Structure 1
Amino acid sequence: MPRQRLALALIVSCQLLLGIDATIVNVALPRISAALHFTPAGLAWVLNAYTIAFAGLLMLGGRLGDVLGRRRVFVAGVLVFTAASLAAALARDPGQLLAARAVQGLGAALASPSTLALIANTFAEGPQRNRALGISSAVISGGASLGLVLGGVVTAAVSWRWVFLVNVPIGAAIALLARRRLPETPRHAGRFDVPGALAVTAGMLGIVYALIRAATAGWTDARVVAGLAGGLAALAAFVLVERRAAAPVVPLGLFRDRARASGYAALLLVGPSMIGPFFFLTTYLQQVRGLGPVATGLAFLPMSLGLFTAARLVPRLLGRFGPRRVIGSALAGLIAAQMLLSLVGPGSPLVAAIAPLALVGLGGGLSFVPIYTLILSRVEGSSAGAASGVLQTTQWLGSSFGLAVLVAAAGPAGMGRAFVAAAILAAAALVLMITALGAANAKTHPDGRLRAGGRECPDSPGHPDEVEQPSALRGR
């Protein structure tokens, strides 16, 4: 039992490290911009360089763990992430920082897919594993919130460079102890779909680059046109590669089910509503309202409280009202929150910027579980790992594409237009999900579980611990 506890502590410490890193940089963005002379549009790449590399290589990282062993790939990922964090802390110009952030994303893509599989390999199926998965889920949820506060404290007390430097001793300790204390998983013969992973990553880079540059250069700029054309060409090549690959990084058959494809699309559309406040309000609160980094981090606590409340309420609400009503209300609340934020200006009271964040957290948190359920409940058991892996990838892509779209929408006019754009995308997600849930003929049990195609689906909000279980058992 002590060995299992230490193993779980190592695994969740890595998850916490990656979760914190996704948000700890946000509060430091104004000081990073001032120190390294980023343009407003270029500053978005401090976030996107990490998320694009993470999302684009996440599925490949999972496949590497299958073939080479989860512990080996986990340790390698932590070491890459740690070395890149040191490079980011020492960066002297924007190019160096963005390169380091991309390598951080690579390290996270190697380490993250192995965490759930290592839990499944360490804990016996049943209460022990469910408890470990529950702790893991809580840590992932809390990491983003802790990152905002920690980023504010570190930036104010020392320097923005320490938001990266704090990863170094923690990452080194995790890698050292993991080699000694975590069990290795069996290796499986297989191939790596490297061309597919590179093609999808290149496609995302091209499109995101074009969207961000369009915010300042306009849509007719030669580089914007080239970025869009190159990105779309790379994505087309990706589809061709995946159709012919023996072991595709993204099985295209997952998208043949219209309801599941709608769920993936909804994740992309909801992403901007969640990432927008992090990017725009951290700058607004510090540069326009004069708040310090610590106060800015604390200002996001209503959003964290909303997410936590949603996680506690969603199984009960789904059981009582069904998925269509829950997601309809949740997305309507998310749309309202974005419209309220679009009205915030230099003369607005501070509460006008902070209060809607609670609605963002509540609406986003209540939206995700019905979307997850729609995706996972309509997949065969043999494809559960792949479906879950694509789900994680899509969620990260929603952040990357979403931020690029919002930066392009904001343009010179500022963040008001960006939040209006986020509301429009959330409205599209609302229409898509209501239609998809109806088309799927999903019936709701009294306890909130779904039936799809006439069979009971275990991966449903009525069994919250089991939603992650298929991906854990398959190592995704």
Structure 2
Amino acid sequence: MPRTHDPKKDSDAEHLPVSGADAPELPGRFIAPIAFGTVLQPLNSSMIAVALVSIREVFDAGTSVTWLVSALYLATAVAAPAMGRVADVLGPRRTSLAGLLLVGATSALAPFAPDVPTLVVCRILIGIGTAAQYPCGVAMVRHAADRLRARPNNALAALAVCSQVTAALGPTLGGLLVGAFGWSGVFWVNVPLTVVGALVILWRGPADPSARRDRGRLAALWRVDPVGIVLFAAAITALMFWLLSLGETVQWWWLAVAVPAAALTAWWGLRARDPFLDVRLLGRRALSFTYVRTIVTYTAFYCVFYGFPQWLEESRGLGPVGAGLVVLPVSAVGVVSTLLANRLQRRRGPRAALVVGTAALCAAGLLLTVPGAGSPVLLLLLVSAVLGVPNGFNNMGNQRAMYAVTPAERMGAASGLYRTSQYVGANLAAALLALVIGENATDLGLHRMGLSIAALAAVLLATSLVAALRERRA
């Protein structure tokens, strides 16, 4: 039956988290267990890159090994909001622990896989387990902050910093592991990490909210809305496959699957009593626009993440090691800008961080039109440093904006959708790079990429400024 309008429920949904300047920050003892698990996803997504050659040789495989990369991204994009919804219903602490158990057990078995398809299945399971950690982390932050009447800024900054650092260090750590243990090392490393993560969460992790005593476990699991999850999974999987095809031969039939699946997901969300995807919540302009802004921001981010190193290798001739060292300032400066963004939005709110971040992204895109094949390394390092500035401001601004307008009981699913938005942006970036760079990254291709990033950032900056003016007038 369709849901009836409940004014009290709507009023509760409009309740915002504590954010007053006089409120204390969330105690540091909660931050480490909340943030620790979130390193697994960026670590596993970046480590595998240096193991693909070894896996191809061991299994005498061809291009099928690239599915080890795509499978994790697809699994994470689908599973993040689903696991977030599970966290909303069953509790983020126990959901995070279950995800860690899945990652640890799968990683222990993966080195014994007989072929690449089995490894792909393992990567899918690892993607599901790692996907739980970010939405569970944000949900734990929300529950702890609301219970203690504390501000979440430092905890959210820790989540952002962990993602930036581990994504940058992943290839380096992966290279060391492959050198010492072979390709299986990138799986083995998850076992001690998940054990330590689980122990830390059990020791210091914020407790889950008290469960309702009048519902059995089966009823609680039904509240997760498996029908809604299946419909959403079909829609987002078809969308991601369509986006992946944009760089080559466009497979329109995936879009023909995605559109009706999305319509069914929305229809079910309007009719279900307790839906996985609350369409009415997405009707809030502030939240839905945050997801759109995140998609555009990460389209630009992944263009830099993939396109700039490609140009450094192919046109500048630095090689993989040299290119990796040149782009290291992107992540290093991103960590610093995250901390600065955290301080800024304590005083001015997330809108100020977004204005600074999009302005810096526009400037960084224009700066990418300067380098050429003969540019000195010092100039390239300067470009990398500037490219890192917008990351922290945009990440913190979007994350805090999502946090501020989402009801506590929906924080897990909303955080998962935020993660999904990032991966939609990653696939759009792949399509954009195929359009402006093509197979070989020339100087012209780099400059086109920079202008594309600047154009995207200019649109974001204009919308952020308009929204800021509206807020001041209100």
TM-score, normalised on structure 1?
A: 0.73
Please say if 1:14 is aligned against 2:37. Answer: yes
CA apart distance, 1:307: 0.6
Aligned to 1:168: 191
Alignment CA distance shift 1:349-1:29 (3 Å): farther
Please say if 1:187 is aligned against 2:172. Answer: no
Please say if 1:143 is aligned against 2:166. Answer: yes
Aligned to 1:438: 466
Alignment CA distance shift 1:107-1:152 (3 Å): same
Give the whole-Å Cα distance in 2 for the aligned partners of 1:381 and 1:122.
11
What one-letter code is carried by the residue in structure 1 that aligns with 2:186? V
| Partners of 1:197 and 1:249 within 8 A in 2 | yes
Give the whole-Å Cα distance in 1 for the aligned partners of 2:281 and 2:266.
13
| Partners of 1:267 and 1:394 within 8 A in 2 | yes
Aligned to 1:466: none
Give the whole-Å Cα distance in 2 for the aligned partners of 1:287 and 1:153.
24
CA apart distance, 1:148: 3.7
Please say if 1:70 is aligned against 2:92. Answer: yes
Give the whole-Å Cα distance in 2 for the aligned partners of 1:383 and 1:121.
11
What one-letter code is carried by the residue in structure 1 that aligns with 2:96? F
Aligned match for 2:123, one of 82, 94, 101: 101
Give the whole-Å Cα distance in 2 for the aligned partners of 1:99 and 1:426.
38
Task: Give aligned pairs, total.
Answer: 432
Give the whole-Å Cα distance in 2 for the aligned partners of 1:164 and 1:418.
34
| Partners of 2:42 and 2:170 within 8 A in 1 | yes
Aligned match for 2:244, one of 196, 201, 212: 212
What one-letter code is carried by the residue in structure 2 that aligns with 1:67? V
Give the whole-Å Cα distance in 2 for the aligned partners of 1:402 and 1:365.
19
Deviation per CA, 1:408-427: give whole Å up to 9, x if none: 66544557748835753662
| Partners of 1:273 and 1:338 within 8 A in 2 | no
Deviation per CA, 1:104-149: give whole Å up to 9, x if none: 1111233432234445666862569766565555434433233243
Give the whole-Å Cα distance in 1 for the aligned partners of 2:166 and 2:62.
27
| Partners of 2:41 and 2:127 within 8 A in 1 | no
Aligned match for 2:366, one of 314, 336, 350: 336
Aligned to 1:301: 328
Give the whole-Å Cα distance in 2 for the aligned partners of 1:5 and 1:322.
25
Aligned to 2:6: none
- Structure 2: 5+ residue stretches without partners: 1-26
Give the whole-Å Cα distance in 2 for the aligned partners of 1:145 and 1:227.
33
Aligned-residue Cα RMSD (Å) equals 4.1
What one-letter code is carried by the residue in structure 2 that aligns with 1:65? A
Aligned to 1:326: 356
| Partners of 1:266 and 1:433 within 8 A in 2 | no
| Partners of 1:48 and 1:400 within 8 A in 2 | no
Aligned to 1:201: 233
Alignment CA distance shift 1:137-1:412 (3 Å): closer
| Residues 246-395 of structure 1 aligned to structure 2 (within 5 Å) | 246-280=273-307, 289=317, 291=319, 297-314=324-341, 322=352, 326-339=356-369, 354-372=381-399, 375=402, 387-395=414-422
What one-letter code is carried by the residue in structure 1 that aligns with 2:235? G
Alignment CA distance shift 1:357-1:200 (3 Å): farther
| Partners of 1:10 and 1:178 within 8 A in 2 | yes
What one-letter code is carried by the residue in structure 2 that aligns with 1:201? A
| Partners of 1:52 and 1:400 within 8 A in 2 | no
Give the whole-Å Cα distance in 2 for the aligned partners of 1:259 and 1:117.
19
| Partners of 1:258 and 1:436 within 8 A in 2 | no
| Partners of 1:52 and 1:397 within 8 A in 2 | no
Larger mean CA deviation between 117-126 and 229-238 belongs to: 117-126
Please say if 1:53 is aligned against 2:59. Answer: no
What one-letter code is carried by the residue in structure 2 that aligns with 1:431? V
TM-score, normalised on structure 2?
A: 0.74
Give the whole-Å Cα distance in 2 for the aligned partners of 1:112 and 1:27.
24
CA apart distance, 1:301: 1.9
Alignment CA distance shift 1:419-1:90 (3 Å): farther
Deviation per CA, 1:349-402: give whole Å up to 9, x if none: 656665432222112323334444555556677766665453343234323443
Q: Counterpart of 2:101 in 1: which secondary structure?
A: helix
Give the whole-Å Cα distance in 2 for the aligned partners of 1:184 and 1:382.
12
Give the whole-Å Cα distance in 2 for the aligned partners of 1:209 and 1:66.
28
Give the whole-Å Cα distance in 1 for the aligned partners of 2:323 and 2:52.
12
Alignment CA distance shift 1:171-1:284 (3 Å): farther
Percent identity, aligned pairs only, is 26
Give the whole-Å Cα distance in 2 for the aligned partners of 1:89 and 1:180.
30
